[in-house]
Amino acid sequence: MDKPLLQVQHLTMEFGGLVAIGDLSFEARRGEITALIGPNGAGKTTVFNCITGFYKPTKGMIHFTNHDGSEFLLERMPDFQITAKAKVARTFQNIRLFPGLTVLENMLVAQHNKLMKASGFLVLGLFGIGGYRQASAESVELAQYWLEKADLMDRADDPAGDLPYGAQRRLEIVRAMCAGPELLCLDEPAAGLNPKESLALNELLMDIRSNTGTSILLIEHDMSVVMQISDHIVVLEYGRKISDGDPAFVRADPRVIAAYLGVDDEEVETVLTDVGDAKVIEQLDTAR
């Protein structure tokens, strides 16, 4: 059988005395959407930062296998090589677009490296050497392809900062897709979205999963997104794994329900409704 795309083994990340991630092992399989969930401060973003080379883990291994069989130990690689060689792309918890550039320009900047190579590093590009034009046309085509998918073509010439929030999120995702990643890591893409935007996001992610070679690792608090689109869910609490399985398994796991009872009081009911635990909601109601 195919080796899993991502194998995180005994990953530990300490900040001074704080253990942000403690002995975490999990896998993300090719062609799947794997969700990483857990209460605030559980260590989810830190896992992303280790996978993408922003942090050097205190201990552990992050084994990555591309579709062509090439293998990488991500914890030993600098971030730019993780992007370029292993082909891991990410988005951030806070949107990082160029708000003053147009939507299309944001898509082209993402392909900057390819353009630079084709243009003989800028100077030749200025003279419009054929290779530059070629790459440029290709890049525009690729940008248009993904803008269509994200339902953003009609906004291509507008500044990215003028788009509604949900559209900006989708733009970030398709911008990352221009690099043709093997793994796309999304840090809370549904945060702050309204239900319609959340649905559009779900559709885009399902499309990526089904129609490209890109697998997805998703950090998300919005359970309507997580439960609907994930093939596999890993649950963290205080940097440790407390559950790992398919959505049906995880939503019924008492450890998960207990972990979510630890969230702010006003969020408890939403979370329980989202994970669909009617019995616990009933108990809460009678306890009032």
Binding site for ligand ATP (CB under 6 A): 15, 18, 20, 38, 40-46, 93
**Residue 209: which of ligand ATP, Mg ion, none does it interact with, CB under 5 to 8 A by kind?**
none
Q: Are strands 33-37 and 215-219 parallel, antiparallel or unpaired?
A: parallel
Token pair of 64, please? 């990555």
Looking at the Cβ atoms of 93 and 202, the one nearer to ligand ATP is: 93
Q: 22 or 125: whose CB is closer to ligand ATP?
A: 22
CB neighbours of residue 259 within 10 Å: 21
For ligand ATP, the closer of residues 54 and 121 by Cβ is 54
Q: Does 45 bind Mg ion (CB under 5 A)?
A: yes
DSSP-assigned states of every residue in 10-54:
EEEEEETTEEEEEEEEEEE-TT-EEEEE-STTSSHHHHHHHHTTS
Stretch binding Mg ion (CB under 5 A), from 11-19, 44-52, 240-248, 263-271: 44-52
The dihedral sign for the CA sequence 105, 106, 110, 112: positive
- Beta-carbon contacts of 263 under 8 Å, excluding residues fewer than 6 positions away, are 39, 40, 271
* Residue 49 sits in the site that holds Mg ion (CB under 5 A): no
Rounded to an integer, what distance in angstroms lies between the CA atom of residue 48 and that of residue 35? 12
Q: Which is nearer to Mg ion, 49 or 198 (CB)?
A: 49
Question: Could you tell which of ligand ATP, Mg ion, none binds residue 20, using a CB distance below 5 to 8 A set by kind?
Answer: ligand ATP
Minimal distance, residue 188 CB to Mg ion, in Å: 7
Minimum Å gap between C-beta 172 and ligand ATP is: 16
3-state class (DSSP) for residue 69: coil
Nearest residue (CB) to ligand ATP, 49 versus 119:
49
Applying CB under 5 A, which part among 40-48, 98-106, 121-129, 229-237 lies near Mg ion?
A: 40-48
Cross-strand pairs, 235: 37, 243
**Smallest distance, ligand ATP to C-beta of residue 262, A:** 13
- Residue pair 49/79 in contact (Cβ under 8 Å)? The answer is no
Task: Using the minimum distance from each CB to ligand ATP, give the nearer residue, 93 or 224.
Answer: 93
Asked if residues 216 and 205 have their Cβ atoms less than 8 Å apart, the reply is yes
Query: Is residue 260 within a helix (H) or strand (E), and if so which, with residue range?
Result: helix 254-261
For ligand ATP, which is the closer residue by CB, 40 or 113? 40
Q: Cβ atoms within 10 A of the Cβ of 145, count?
A: 14
Rounded to a whole number of angstroms, the minimum distance from the CB of residue 223 to ligand ATP is 13
CB of 37 to ligand ATP, least distance (A): 9
Contact 186, 173 (CB under 8 A): yes
283 binds, among Mg ion, ligand ATP, none (CB under 5 to 8 A by kind): none
How near is the Cβ of 51 to Mg ion at its closest, in Å?
A: 13
**Token reading at 253:** 């796991």
Q: What is the contact surface with Mg ion in residues (CB under 5 A)?
A: 44-45
